[in-house]
Amino acid sequence: MNLATPSSQGLILIVDDQKNWRETLDELLQADGHQVQTSSSLDEARALLLTKDFDVAILDIRLLDERRYDIQGLELLQEIKTAGLRTCVLVMTGYAPPGTETHVQQIGAEVFTFKNPPQGLDIVQFRDTIRELVQQAQMVHL
Amino acid sequence: MATERIINILMSVNKGVQRLLEVDRFYVALYDPVKAELEFPLVVDSGNMAETDQASWIPRPYQGHAWLPDRAIEQKAPLLFERDLRKRLEGEGIRYWPDGGKLPLSWLGVPMTVEGRVIGTLVVENRYKARAFGNSGVRVLSTIARQTALTIENVRLHERLERKIANLRAVNEVGRRLTLGIRLSEQEILELIYEQASLLMDTSDMYIALYEPDSEQPDEYNSEKPEESVIHGTVRFGLAMDNKRQVDTEHEKGWEPRKAGHGLTEYVIRTKLPYRPSDVEKAYKTIATEYIGKTPRSWMGVPMMVGNKVLGVVVLRNDEYENVYDKDDEEVLQTIAGQAAVAIENARLYADQRKTIRILEEAQDKIRQLERVRTMSNMAADFVHRINNMAGTIPIRVQRIREILSDKYPEARRSLRRHLKGIMDDTNELLMASQRLQESTQEIPQPQLIDVHDLVATIVREIRLQTPDFVKVYDEHLETELPPVLGIEAELEEAIRDVTTNAIEAMVNTGGRFDISTAYKQDKIGEGWVEIEVKDEGYGIPEDVLHNIFDLFYTTKGSSLGYGLWRTKNTVESLGGEITVDSEVGKGTTVHIRLPAAKRLKE
């Protein structure tokens, strides 16, 4: 990877406990030329973050499907930000109580989005956002 | 009334009289001092029994010294006329009886006396012969009279004993039927008492008054001078017979419920003792200023008591005679009244219990219904979550298919687009429907009664299982008799768990003592509160952030980003409760939750 010039193609981590989401986002982003790694759990994601320098991390909030109030994704977000990694974070969720978006941004996530309608994912915009985040991360890196 | 047994005795007395005396008419008069009446159970004329139901011989009022056989009773000594009967009667102003007959030449009456009491008189007459009896006749008839009196008295005692035994049996029967009748209504019990009392005594004039103390103004019983007790309750007539006629106590004037005043009935309620005045008129003048309709000649009232409580009074009245009730009647009525009181009390308790059971059953129904709604809404939430997860990626996949295929098969582009758009639209529709379902499941079900002790005990059991050994769990101050709290159990459980989890986690590194206690307390205005206190010896919360701890997403733990105390506070406050936290760095934290106790189930 040429680190000297910011490119719109980067190294991306997808953390989601749902296989179909990991798969589709992986395929979509690879199609756009990104390198993608996926992880289904908090621990696995931590390990990956230690070994690789990701441009963007896409984090689902609820990583334990059986726990209705699970927020492991936010723990990971805070760890990334506390550790001072340059990785930009996009948090996505199927459901969140009011106030979540503000909170997520306070912890330091670059972008927050819902997975589903009515505020759901706009694919075109999503791809643009990822591209922008990659650039942003690489600029920081410079 | 002379019984058959007494008439038989008198007939054998007659045989002796006929054998020993020159008599052509012999008759017996029995004296009833209570009714002041004479009856003639036996009349023998010229050796033949006379019909005692003909006009001359039916019972009649006692006339004292003014009439002839009556005078023998009055003077308690034999009375002998041997000649010139008419002249002597006229001279002393005595009237011969029976009317209309020819006056006899000889007349002898000897009173029958037992222990100084005159119970009647034997009379012998001779219409044809003067000096038929003489002094020897007086002696003979006196002996016969003495023996007859003794025999009659014995028979009467015997009959009274028999009646007492029969009464006892009947009273037992009342008791048995009342006990069997635990499901009888109060009115049915009153009717049963009336029916049973009727078997034992004259109940043509009877009423049962029920007494209900005032709920706000308690009665003031004076144990030294019971008649000076002051009562404030209400007297209601549960059942009344007036001269064999059933009174409509709901509508008839004079029988409507009344504030306890100064009737004889209230007198019995005040004294809690049976009352049987010998002079009813005087009783009405001195202690009763109110009475229903009339002044009876006899009155007897006994209280219906349960323990020391008066439930009412059973009253018998008689308009014709004075002192018709004796000690025996009083005892019988007292026994019946006692049994009635217990039966009424039981019926009331039973009715109360039925009511409570019904309320509980309704509450349970409601809870079951809510439980169903909750289950449904949990299932719906789960379903929504799954739909969102599974279908959420379809639009992305469609987008990719569109990109990949339309480049490769330009000729199929139009139909491809149409189909893909169809899939997109359908999926969006599905996701929107799911979203609406999700919103509707967020309408949280109605609150239910929560057994806080049960909940806390369950949580503590789990904590014991999951907590490492260096954290010591103490729960000896759990109040087992907590009133329920109204709310959604799962929410409250989550709230308490958040607090206990925080406390345990605060000690994971240091170890220490975990204390959980519950209590029921009443505040100054009498509102009940269920209190839960969770105490740890963890690292504590610095004073400057103590006021933030309930903010959304606030955490002291660094690793976890709980909705924790924010959610707890919301839950507690949604139940109308309060949560407070005391903490000192290095010493530990105490979280205090108080929840309003659900109002007790009332009628």
Q: pLDDT tens for residues B28-74?
A: 999 998 888 999 999 999 888 887 667 778 899 999 888 889 999 99
Q: Which residues contact B175 (CB under 8 A, 6 or more apart)?
A: B339
Task: State chain B's mean pLDDT as an integer.
Answer: 84
Question: Three-state SS string across chain A, please?
Answer: CCCCCCCCCCEEEEECCCHHHHHHHHHHHHHCCCEEEEECCHHHHHHHHHHCCCCEEEEECCCCCCCCCCCHHHHHHHHHHHCCCCCEEEEEECCCCCCHHHHHHHHCCCEEEECCCCCCCCHHHHHHHHHHHHHHHHHHHC
By a Cβ cutoff of 8 Å, what residues of chain B touch chain A?
A: 381, 385, 388-390, 392-393, 395-397, 399-400, 403, 428, 431-432, 434-435, 438, 494, 552-553, 559-563, 567
Residue A31 lies in domain: 11-134
The pLDDT confidence band at residue A3, using thresholds 50, 70 and 90, is: very low
The pLDDT confidence band at residue B120, using thresholds 50, 70 and 90, is: very high
Give the model's pLDDT for residue B556. 55
Instruction: Tell whether the model's pLDDT for residue B543 goes beyond 90.
Output: no
Instruction: Tell whether the model's pLDDT for residue A33 goes beyond 70.
Output: yes
Q: Is residue A31 part of a domain?
A: yes
Instruction: Tell whether the model's pLDDT for residue B560 goes beyond 70.
Output: no
Q: Summarize the confidence of residues B510-515 as an average pLDDT.
A: 89
Residue B113 and residue B146 in contact, taking contact as beta carbons nearer than 8 Å: yes
- Mutation target for B interface from A76, A112, A116: give the one with most B CBs within 10 A: A116
Instruction: Tell whether the model's pLDDT for residue B443 goes beyond 60.
Output: no
Per-residue pLDDT tens digits for B421-432 = 888 888 888 888
Instruction: Tell whether the model's pLDDT for residue B283 goes beyond 90.
Output: no
Q: Which of A90-99, B289-298, B306-315 has the lowest mean pLDDT?
A: B289-298
Instruction: Tell whether the model's pLDDT for residue B180 goes beyond 90.
Output: no
Per-residue pLDDT tens digits for B579-590 = 999 988 888 899
DSSP secondary structure letters along B58-125? S-EE--GGGBHHHHHHHHTS-EEE-S-HHHHHHHHT-B-SSTTSPPPSEEEEEEEEETTEEEEEEEEE
Angle subtended at Cα B341 by Cα B336 and Cα B347, rounded to the nearest 5 degrees? 125
Per-residue pLDDT tens digits for B389-442 = 888 888 888 888 888 887 777 777 788 888 888 888 888 888 888 878 877 766
Q: Is residue A68 part of a domain?
A: yes
Q: Is residue A141 part of a domain?
A: no
| Contact across the interface for A116 and B434, Cβ inside 8 Å | yes
Give the model's pLDDT for residue B382. 78
Give the model's pLDDT for residue A69. 61
Q: Is residue A104 part of a domain?
A: yes
Instruction: Tell whether the model's pLDDT for residue B518 goes beyond 90.
Output: yes
Percent of chain B clearing pLDDT 90 (strictly above): 27
Alpha carbons B138 and B153: distance in angstroms, whole number: 22
Give the residue among B341, B331, B340, B334 at the shortest CA–CA distance from B310.
Answer: B341
Nearest by CB to residue B392, choosing from A69, A75, A115, is: A115
The pLDDT confidence band at residue B447, using thresholds 50, 70 and 90, is: low
Give the model's pLDDT for residue A67. 67
Q: Is residue A140 part of a domain?
A: no
Other Cβ atoms closer than 10 A to B61: 11
Among A35-44, B193-202, B303-312, B559-568, name the most confident range: A35-44
Which chain B residues have a beta carbon less than 8 Å from that of A103?
552-553
Segment 40-59 of chain A within 8 Å of chain B by CB: none
Residue B162 sits at φ, ψ, to 5 deg, of -60, -40
Per-residue pLDDT tens digits for B482-507 = 988 888 888 888 889 889 988 888 88
Instruction: Tell whether the model's pLDDT for residue A117 goes beyond 90.
Output: no
CATH number, domain with residue A78: 3.40.50.2300
Per-residue pLDDT tens digits for B224-233 = 888 788 899 9
Give the model's pLDDT for residue B535. 93
H or E segment to which residue B402 belongs: helix B394-408
pTM: 0.45
The torsion of the CA quartet B384, B387, B388, B394, rounded to 10 degrees, works out to -160
Q: What is the chain A residue with the closest CA to B401?
A: A28
Q: Residue A106: exposed, middle, or buried by beta-carbon count in 10 A (0-12, 13-18, 19+)? A: exposed
Counting Cα atoms < 13 Å in the Cβ hemisphere of B597 gives 19
Q: Is residue A95 part of a domain?
A: yes
Secondary structure letter of residue B234 according to DSSP: E
Residue B44 sits at φ, ψ, to 5 deg, of -120, 120
Give the model's pLDDT for residue B600. 47
Complex prediction ipTM = 0.83
Among A97-101, B98-102, B466-470, name the most confident range: B466-470
Q: Is B469 helix (H, G, I), strand (E, B) or coil?
A: coil
Q: Is residue A130 part of a domain?
A: yes
More confident residue, A44 or A122: A44
| Contact across the interface for A71 and B562, Cβ inside 8 Å | yes
Give the model's pLDDT for residue B21. 93
Residue B405 and residue B416 in contact, taking contact as beta carbons nearer than 8 Å: yes
More confident residue, B412 or A91: A91
Report the amino acid identity of residue B353.
Q
Q: Is A103 on the interface with B (CB under 8 A)?
A: yes
Q: Summarize the confidence of residues B596-600 as an average pLDDT.
A: 72
Q: How many domains does chain A have?
A: 1
Angle subtended at Cα B54 by Cα B53 and Cα B57, rounded to the nearest 5 degrees? 75
Q: Is residue A96 part of a domain?
A: yes
Report the amino acid identity of residue B599.
K
Report the amino acid identity of residue B228.
E
Q: Which of B54-58, B174-178, B552-556 has the lowest mean pLDDT?
A: B552-556
Q: Summarize the confidence of residues B557-576 as an average pLDDT.
A: 66
Residue B360 and residue B367 in contact, taking contact as beta carbons nearer than 8 Å: no
Give the residue among B451, B406, B567 at the shortest CA–CA distance from B501.
Answer: B567
